[in-house]
């Protein structure tokens, strides 16, 4: 589609279309302007937040494991001071079990 064609649909000049494209490239265009452009193209604007590691599930897994590790290691250190240290395998198992529980409960602390 040419700028002239898009301008005609939006009832704006070719220069105004260029301005919109520049603002979009710079990241300063408004959602309202994007929504209007989508509307005249018989489309719908969709926007959202997408985790950088690919999926929300992977993000939750990572955050739950991090939180579980903090909790388990804090307890493990206390036990170590009391000369009741667990094996590395037991600690890893406890971390995984705690991470699974965190994912099930989805506590607000997961977002910290």
Summarised one tens digit per residue, pLDDT across range 56-83 is 899 999 999 999 999 898 877 666 655 5
Mean pLDDT confidence for 106-111: 86
**Rounded mean pLDDT of the chain?**
89
Are 33 and 23 in contact, with CB atoms under 8 Å apart? yes
- What pLDDT shows up at residue 81? 56
How many CB atoms are located within 10 Å of the residue 29 CB? Answer: 16
Strand blocks (E) in 1-112: none
- Rounded Cα gap, residues 41 and 3, in angstroms: 13
Q: Whole-model pTM?
A: 0.58
pLDDT band at 88 (very low <50, low <70, confident <90, very high): confident
pLDDT in tens, 4-23: 999 999 999 999 999 999 99
Residue 33, Cβ density class (10 Å: 0-12 exposed, 13-18 middle, ≥19 buried): middle
Check pLDDT > 90 for residue 50.
no
Tokens of 81: 């001071």
């Amino acid at each position: 589609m040419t700028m002239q064609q898009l301008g005609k649909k939006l009832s704006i000049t070719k220069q105004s279309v260029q301005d919109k494209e520049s603002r979009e490239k710079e990241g300063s265009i408004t959602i309202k302007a994007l929504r209007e452009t989508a509307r005249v193209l018989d489309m719908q604007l969709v926007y959202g937040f997408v985790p950088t590691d690919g999926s929300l599930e992977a993000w939750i897994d990572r955050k739950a494991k991090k939180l579980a590790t903090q909790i388990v290691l804090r307890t493990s250190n206390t036990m170590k001071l009391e000369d009741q240290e667990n094996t590395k395998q037991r600690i890893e198992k406890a971390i995984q079990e705690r991470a699974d529980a965190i994912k099930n409960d989805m506590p607000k602390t997961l977002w910290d």
